[in-house]
Structure 1
Amino acid sequence: MAKDALLVSYLSLSPARDTSPLVEKILVDLTQGAEDLSPDDSNELAECLIGDLAESTQQGIRNLQISLLRILSRNPACTALAQLSTLDTLLKWSAFSVDPLDSTKRTESIEARKALCNIMVQHPLARDSLVISSHLNPFLQHLTTFASVSETELTTSHDSMDHFLTLRLLFFLTLQDSPVTRNLASDTRLVPLIRHAISMDVPEMEGKEALMVLYNLQRLVPDTSNPFTPLVPRLVDLIINTPPATLASPEPSGGIHAVHSLIHPMDTEAWPDMPKLIRLCDRLIEALDLLLQAFDTTTATTPLRPRIDERITPITLLLTRLVDAWPTLRTHVSSSLLPPRRDLSIAPEVGESLDSRLIRLLTAVGTEVRSHTVADLLYSLCHQDAKRFTERIGFGNAAGHLTRLGLDPKDALPTASSSSSSSSPHPPPTTSSAPSPLGIDPITGKTQSMSDIPSTDDWTEEEKEREAERLFVLFERLKATGVVQVENPVSRIHEISDEEDK
């Protein structure tokens, strides 16, 4: 029977669908062709199914109806499923307290929750309705039941799909800021549920979902009171046990979700001891190194570039948080990310070292968020000292960040002599045949020598005049924009030349 005829047949059976022997066969056939229905037919069928499910139907028929709704929920054109009445009905039949030994009811419950999750993905506006659904309380009670049992009991009665769908619905629910979600965020009874879900012997998909829920909940709690602080040791272990390549992968891993969760303020007393914190920093630096290598192989238009930025940002944020909280970690991280410069003859951002590649990110084309977080990290490694920051990475690289902080970059501009003495404790040796150094250029952050100054001995008078005019115009523009407020030196040169001609 053609799908159009099947649809007409099902719709024509009302109101006697429960007792008709054809209903089950029609529903099975409709399920096989539901994805090919037109938007109008999909919406008409969805409204009919929701109306039937709102009433009492036979369990076998109800299973087929819910399964058909689950298939229709994949279609973004099926807008009838985004209505509050649909969410109420599906929450009603989700039966969160179903006995896991009752396979029929369990299948019904799983299918209803899958349909709800699909609707949340295809129709984001429906998430607002989920918060106010009249059937949300059974779901919240289900969470309380989960959280009230011990982790041993959770492991014994573990149902991966049940837990996963519960966490997935909780994820969509906590995307909204409402009194309901704020109460959830402050409920310490959720800690055991999340702790169990991110343990090493639980499927990864469940752990990822729990970590995304944790991130949402932490956004809703005040900085002064984070009930999820007891999870810090497990989150740290999760990152340390994640290979650097997995942390740096474009595909989100449990480790990178743990990084996101640790960015939120939590009591430092809950963090592990210093040796483990050092291991945490080392793992983050290893992942950052891989990301910087990948960054250098892409361009601003490469599709992979935004994914790399998405990984660099949380890792640098967490490193900044760690070095700000523990001075010992600042010293340790600085030795890898911002060590003393060995070769002052090249600019800080030039080269393939880890610190050079990191400094290049400050001016590379890409997201502002990434460049800001990298600058924050480098600034923290310089003890948040503007002059030290400028001396170490160069005025051109530092000026943008200092301006963003509300500081005047000119105040942080070091003199050549101070830069020469403080930029590196181990200046490179010079030989008698090398050009004599003139100190460190505070703008470029590298040493100057006589060979860097172009010779004008072989210039003609016309070439000198053109260069003087170019410099004169440049200084006038700088004065007009307020960058410098000094007498144009080219004017003075012209006056001296005129006096000599006389």
Structure 2
Amino acid sequence: MSNTTNVKRAAVASLMDQLRADVTEQKLTPQEELAILEKLKVYGRTVTGSDAIYSSEGIVFLAEVAFRPNNPDSSREALRCLANALYLDRQMVQYFIDAGYVEKTSEAYKSENVDDEFLLGRILFFSTTFAKDDHLINKWANEHHLVENNIAAISRHAIAYTTAASTASSLAVPMMQTMALQDTLKLLYTLTTKLSDVSTMLGPTIPHLLTLLSALPIQSPPLQAPTHHILDALSNIPPTTTDSQTAFFPPSNPTLHVSKILKIFDKSAVIPSSSSTTSRSGTSTSNNTTADDFDTHAASLLKLLIEIYPLSPAPVKTLLHETLLPSEKERSSPLGSTNSATLPARLLRLASSPTTTNTRLILQTLLFVISDEDPVKFVKNVGYGHASGYLMMRGIPIPSEALEEIGAAESGDGGSGRNKRINPITGQYLDDELRDIEASGLKGLEDMTDEEKEREAEKLFVLFERLNRTGVINVENPVRTAMQEGRFEEIKSDNEDSDDDGDNEAGKGKGKAKA
């Protein structure tokens, strides 16, 4: 063991002994006590050599100092020492719980001082997150005002941020208040995962969370803290009560909060850029950071929309349809085409992207839910190509009518598309699909000569044989099958005699598909 560690261990032990001696002798001035605690805080940022802190006796003693009255500065410095210790070593959390100090922390959490809220909220977050017994958390909530004080803190932040948003500068909230809010929200999220009756106990936080979300400016990236903390909490509190649903959908403006959520969604749904570059240090220098942010944090946003859609009034459902599902205008190209930068197109690409490992399935579920969980509507809305994998994975039968050409009579496009037909696979108008084929120089079978059909059949034959050899697929070559079933007939050259016996080399192996 290094000499440096031994020196540090001795220094930490000496400082703790000085504090203990002062409990009985009271020789230290408040300033001297504060200075000792500040040194302990610095030492305690690493576990090695801080044995006098990282022990049952050390945690209990620091907690006694933290909750001693009449010296707030020393109390907060002791709380900082505790917060560091609980963060760095989970065993310290158990010592803190066993000594009964979570109850005192829960009671003290009613403080309206943001410095106190930040420290107490952080300690409570570690205590609830790493507690081995959820019954204790319910006890802290029911008997020691943990939930009550958490809701009060969120309410204060909602007022502060709303006031700041109404001023010229939306950044008028002090940094410490933002930090306190983040730890209070993280504590709330832990409570949503561990309390026995989340809807009843935490339902009253919903109006305050929605007020906060409305007051916060959309950041860049949009899903950073505290926004994603708010969405995390909202997604875990079922809005089953009348008050909760009224908060989500205010009678005077039902789409108020959902509109803000959709704006955040729009800004965050970024497609990973294939042209992004990476620095030598490995740090992305393009917008992949934002794309990664979506896959990391968007699950809660998606889950929230899935939860509230069935409860939504008609104006909100209409807004969700218009915002998240492809419009009729987008059917001039295959749905989800890279030519389109609309939110629905980006969502379809994200829903099939191999990079969205965390959000791909839940995003597909959202599109299915806002299609009223009807497979025919789902295929109509996003195209069979985007819908089939999800439906098969869920074991949902695909009705035959879902694969028929879909008319646009129900599209609500004012009649402009009433006679148009839609390719059920791609979701594109058939007329526009034919236009694209013609513009690309490709021909349909009816426009090909016999020789062109033969060449295309030969190309397909070779491609399938190559794929089978690589192991990528293992299916019967459809061209070979067609030949075996007699669906090819011989093509005779113009210079062949009509009574040719078929042995002419020019005619060997040539064939065309039968109609």
Instruction: Bin the TM-score by the shorter chain.
Output: 0.7 to 0.9
Native 8 Å contact 2:334 2:427 kept in 1? yes
Closer, same or farther in 2 for the Cα pair 1:128/1:269, shift >3 Å? farther
Native 8 Å contact 1:73 1:115 kept in 2? yes
Distance in 2 separating the partners of 1:412 and 1:85: 71
Match runs of 1:146-295 below 5 Å: 146-147=109-110, 158-179=112-133, 180-186=136-142, 189-198=145-154, 199=156, 200-201=159-160, 203-222=177-196, 226-243=200-217, 245-246=218-219, 248-249=221-222, 251-253=224-226, 255-266=227-238, 267-271=240-244, 272=247, 273-292=250-269
Does the alignment pair 1:497 with 2:488?
A: yes
Native 8 Å contact 1:164 1:206 kept in 2? yes
Distance in 2 separating the partners of 1:340 and 1:463: 39
**Number of equivalences:** 436
Does the alignment pair 1:131 with 2:94?
A: yes
Closer, same or farther in 2 for the Cα pair 1:135/1:106, shift >3 Å? farther
User: TM-score of the superposition, structure 1-length normalised?
Assistant: 0.74
Of 397, 401, 405, the residue aligned with 2:394 is 405
Match of 2:301 in 1: 315
- 375-384 vs 49-58, which moves further: 49-58
User: TM-score of the superposition, structure 2-length normalised?
Assistant: 0.72
Closer, same or farther in 2 for the Cα pair 1:375/1:283, shift >3 Å? same
State the shift of 1:84 in Å: 3.1
Closer, same or farther in 2 for the Cα pair 1:54/1:346, shift >3 Å? same
SS at match of 2:332: coil
Native 8 Å contact 2:223 2:297 kept in 1? yes
SS at match of 2:96: coil
The Cα offsets for residues 277-312 of structure 1, whole Å up to 9 and x where unpaired, read as 410000011111122358669859634432233343
Native 8 Å contact 2:223 2:264 kept in 1? no
SS at match of 1:175: helix
Match of 2:510 in 1: none
Native 8 Å contact 1:53 1:62 kept in 2? yes
Distance in 2 separating the partners of 1:133 and 1:235: 30
Distance in 2 separating the partners of 1:428 and 1:473: 47
Native 8 Å contact 1:347 1:446 kept in 2? yes
Runs of 4+ aligned structure 1 residues displaced above 4 Å come to: 51-57, 76-79, 185-188, 293-301, 410-413, 427-430, 458-462, 471-477, 479-483, 486-490, 498-502
Match runs of 1:387-466 below 5 Å: 387-407=376-396, 414-417=402-405, 419-421=406-408, 424-426=411-413, 439-448=421-430, 449-450=433-434, 452=437, 454-455=443-444, 456-457=448-449, 459=451, 463-464=455-456, 466=458
Native 8 Å contact 2:141 2:148 kept in 1? no
The Cα offsets for residues 74-123 of structure 1, whole Å up to 9 and x where unpaired, read as 235446344333322221221x2523xxxxx22221111111112233x2
Question: Over aligned residue pairs, what C-alpha RMSD do you find?
Answer: 3.8
Match runs of 1:19-98 below 5 Å: 38-54=4-20, 56=22, 58-60=27-29, 62-75=33-46, 77-78=48-49, 80=51, 81-94=53-66, 96=67, 98=69
Give the AA of the match of 1:178. K
Q: Percent identity?
A: 18
State the shift of 1:132 in Å: 3.6
Native 8 Å contact 1:73 1:118 kept in 2? yes
Closer, same or farther in 2 for the Cα pair 1:231/1:440, shift >3 Å? same
Distance in 2 separating the partners of 1:65 and 1:218: 38
- 42-51 vs 192-201, which moves further: 42-51
SS at match of 2:130: coil
SS at match of 2:358: helix
Distance in 1 separating the partners of 2:404 and 2:443: 19
Does the alignment pair 1:110 with 2:76?
A: yes
Give the AA of the match of 1:491. T
Does the alignment pair 1:141 with 2:115?
A: no
Give the AA of the match of 1:137. G
Does the alignment pair 1:467 with 2:430?
A: no
Native 8 Å contact 2:59 2:95 kept in 1? no
The Cα offsets for residues 125-156 of structure 1, whole Å up to 9 and x where unpaired, read as x2343234377424413423555xxxxxx6xx
SS at match of 1:454: coil
SS at match of 1:282: helix
Native 8 Å contact 1:91 1:136 kept in 2? no
Native 8 Å contact 1:174 1:217 kept in 2? yes
